[in-house]
Amino acid sequence: MKNIEEKEQQNNNYSRFDTMDTEVLADLLKADFDAPPTEQMAADEALYIAHLIAERKGMQHKDLTAAKEEFFAQYYPLKDERDVLYEDEEKPAAGVIKLSRLRRWAGAVAAMFLVMICGSVTAFALGYDPFGFKAMWNDDVFWFENENVAEEMQNLVLPYADVENLLPKWVPARYEVYEDALTDEYDDHIDAYVVYANTESAEEDILHVGILYWPNGTTHYYKDSKEVVVYTLNDTDFYIMFDKDWTNVVWHNGRAEYYIMGRITEKEAKKMIKSIYE
Amino acid sequence: MKLHDDDADLRQKQRAFIENLYDKNYRDLLAYALLFLSEADAEEAVQNLFLDACRPGKIELLMQHPKPEAWLGQGIKFSISKIKRSKQQFARLVQYVPPYGDPDGGTRGIEAIADERPPDIDVDTLYEDLALHKDFQLVKRYAVDGKSTREIAQEDGVSLATCRKRLARARERLRKIMKTEK
């Protein structure tokens, strides 16, 4: 009964699509597919539109019973096997993701951060959150250490992460969006980010704001010997660290790692952080 | 004995859960996937999505999830992207630029290679050494002809698992060839 009520409620909410042209609806879904995660429509909204389009076009799908039989006969037996086809053997090894992007922004950004699996290092630790991410750093790098967090749990919660409200709404005026919402999707991690460019600088000056979802990976951020500043706002610890004239801000919301990286001051970094909650 | 019974019971519950999800969502998910993929690939994207949902570790959590349909709705996007990416990756392998054979300077699909290559290139050796032709044909069917792995498996009379392993192996061999040719 509850499901029927929910369905009716959902249909009422999405009834605005009912009067829209089929082609427009198809374009809407295609645009949504390419949109950054923060701007995508809710999954059930997208499926409602897809259902509407199929209905209008009178699409004759494969018989449900036959499809299900095929699933249990051919696909289901693979559930315990390694996904050899879609696991790209040539995917970037752990640590390459950031470096490959750095190549795109060669030079200026190259000093920002580093991804690697460190050997044993003497590290300082601060903060322990219920999701099991411990902030760690030594003289050279900063990283979040994942402690006992179930990867699958994160996979499940990711789509529901309230990412739109977890990124800064303010950036220093000298920066303008250079590349809007890029998403790098890999088999084991997703990196979604916006690149801003300093319009007042003759030299390349890039500001990155992004989200990294990498359950089994560790990102190391370059830092110099200056003390890491822990700025707490709305029960979230924002770690502000420096590497000469670069500033990296990193925080965790229990689901994904967020970062701001660029030539900004500590004051600007804090203003950006505050703008998340505006 | 009790353990076996519990296992069987759990498997049955999991299967019933997936069947229920399948019944409720298959059509909408397929309708969505069809906007981005061919019919065969769209069907495969949906089947792959349910396969991912059944994987150990995932199914248990999904069963406790307050809204598994929303997970599927988000997951279908990943599933579509995965197939698109895989097809593109394979398509790149079956394109080849003849060293000095193509007057237009463009790339050609595999079916043109034997005729396009200049006579001084030892094509036979290339084919013989690495079973190039066989791999090419398999990869071509997947990436250029747009067939799904299920269709190829059916045509070749092998299981889906075997078909996917063959494709993965062909990919590796072709990659080696491409590296050698470069």
**B27-83: per-residue pLDDT in tens?**
999 999 999 999 999 999 999 999 989 988 888 888 887 788 888 888 898 899 889
Sequence-distant (6+) residues with CB within 8 A of A208 are A109, A112, A193, A194, A195, A196, A259, A260, A261, A262
Q: In terms of Cα–Cα distance, which of B39, B179, B173, B161 is closest to A82?
A: B161
Amino acid A39: pLDDT: 67
Which of A33, A47, A62 should one mutate to test binding to chain B, selecting the residue with the greatest count of B CBs within 10 A? A47
What strands lie across the sheet with A236-243, from one edge to the other?
Answer: A175-185, A190-198, A206-213, A257-262, A246-252, A236-243, A229-233
Determine the distance in angstroms separating the CA of B109 from the nearest CA of chain A, rounded to an integer. Answer: 22
Local structure of A208: helix, strand or coil: strand
Listed by number, the residues of chain A in 149-168 with a beta carbon closer than 8 Å to a beta carbon of chain B are 150-153, 155-156, 158-160
d(C-alpha A36, C-alpha A26), whole Å: 18
Which residues of chain B have a CB within 8 Å of the CB of A81? 161
Tokens of residue A77, six digits: 């037996």
Q: Bigger pLDDT: B88 or A190? A: B88
CA distance linking residue A204 with residue A201, whole number of Å: 7
Question: In whole angstroms, what is the distance from residue A54 CA to residue B35 CA?
Answer: 10
pTM of the model: 0.54
For residue B146, count other CB atoms closer than 10 A to its CB: 15
Q: Is the ipTM of this complex over 0.85?
A: no
In Å, how far are A143, A229, A235 from A232, measured between CA atoms? 17, 10, 6
CA distance A45 to A39: 13
The residue of B12, B15, B20, B30 whose CB has the most chain A CBs within 10 angstroms, and thus the best one to mutate to test that interface, is B30
What residues in chain A have per-residue pLDDT under 70? 1-12, 36-39, 61, 88-166, 179-189, 254-255
State the sign of the Cα–Cα–Cα–Cα dihedral A19, A22, A24, A25.
positive
pLDDT tens digits along B131-164: 456 777 788 889 888 899 999 999 999 999 999 9
Size of interface A-B (CB pairs under 8 A): 136
Q: Are B52 and B84 in contact (CB under 8 A)?
A: no
Where residue B178 falls among pLDDT bands split at 50, 70, 90?
A: low
